[in-house]
Amino acid sequence: MTRTKLIAGNWKMNNTFTSATQLVGDIAAGLPNALNAEVWIAAPYVYINTLAENTSNTPIRIGAQDISTHVSGAYTGEISGEMLHSVGAYFVLVGHSERRNYFGETDEIIATKIDAALNSNLIAVYCCGETLEEREAGNHFDIIKTQLHTGLFNFSELALNNIVIAYEPVWAIGTGLTASPEQAQEIHAFIRTQLLNKFGAATADKMRILYGGSLKPNNAAELLAQPDIDGGLIGGASLVEADFNYIINAASTAI
Ligand code: PGA
């Protein structure tokens, strides 16, 4: 089956309102005419409403970088799925390694967040991946298997229609280090086999698995050509219009 490639930018805590609106406008203007990929941007909460409006006539979809586990109520500072959906968010990142490492998110919390996203008609981008120590100790397959089983595999086959997986080797995020195409493909294939064993061929075949971790113009084509890499979750390079559009182009023309 052909899975449509997906390029998702993750802006993290970057851009002012002015630079955010400018950047999205520039990205939209720079999209190829024959776009053959999906383009998503995970923006800071406070810009979602405007960016979603500004891109409503373009193929770009705007999403959030996090979501509350709670539905509503006395949770000062939290943002619910319903709120996100009501301002035009299309998707939400869940379980990014920065949320896991700096904010103590466990696979259990992350599973609750996926549930919150799905209940609010948002697509959940479930992030998983190993640290450098875990890779050096040769534990990366076990770590990812546990993350998948605890964070994701309690959901139904139907729910998985609204979930995208992002494999992000933590050691490659924001460091300039990248998994080699072979290393990335190896893990992506492993994740797809886990999906196959749990849900069967149809689900394993249609689920998109993105690669994240210093995906840049100079390595995009090679990574995106791997058979089990269905796109990218892109931090640093999504902040630079020329770089992001270059990667979108690479995805759009990848087989
Ligand atoms: P990076 O970030 O592309 O800057 O490594 C990837 C991510 O954290 O999503």
Render pLDDT for 141-154 as a digit per residue (tens, 0 to 9).
999 999 999 989 99
- Give nearest CA residue, ligand 1 atom 1: 235
| Sign of the C-alpha dihedral computed for residues 183, 184, 189 and 194 taken in this order | positive
Q: 91 alpha carbon to ligand 1 midpoint, in Å?
A: 17
In a mutational test of the pocket of ligand 1, which residue from 10, 98, 211, 216 has the highest number of ligand atoms less than 8 Å from its CB? 10
pLDDT, mean of residues 11-35:
97
Confidence of residue 233 (pLDDT cuts 50, 70, 90): very high
Three-state secondary-structure class, residue 172: helix
Q: 200 alpha carbon to ligand 1 midpoint, in Å?
A: 30
Ligand 1 neighbours by CB, cut-off 6 Å:
10, 168, 173-174, 212-215, 233-237
Range list of H helices, the chain: 17-29, 48-54, 81-86, 97-102, 107-119, 132-136, 140-151, 181-199, 201-206, 217-224, 241-253
In a mutational test of the pocket of ligand 1, which residue from 97, 99, 173 has the highest number of ligand atoms less than 8 Å from its CB? 173
- State the DSSP code for 239: G
Q: How far apart are CA 245 and CA 142, in angstroms?
A: 35
Q: 246 alpha carbon to ligand 1 midpoint, in Å?
A: 16
Q: Give me the pLDDT at residue 243, please.
A: 98
Q: Which residue type occupies 160? A: L
- Give nearest CA residue, ligand 1 atom 2: 235
pLDDT, mean of residues 216-223:
96
> What is the set of active-site residues?
96, 168
- Give nearest CA residue, ligand 1 atom 7: 235
Q: 137 alpha carbon to ligand 1 midpoint, in Å?
A: 23
- The enclosing H or E element of 42 equals strand 38-42
pLDDT digits (tens, 9 = 90+) for 195-209: 999 999 999 999 999
Q: Give me the pLDDT at residue 15, please.
A: 98
Domains in the chain: ranges and CATH = 5-253 (3.20.20.70)
Q: 73 alpha carbon to ligand 1 midpoint, in Å?
A: 32
Indicate which atom in ligand 1 lies nearest the CA of residue 236: 4
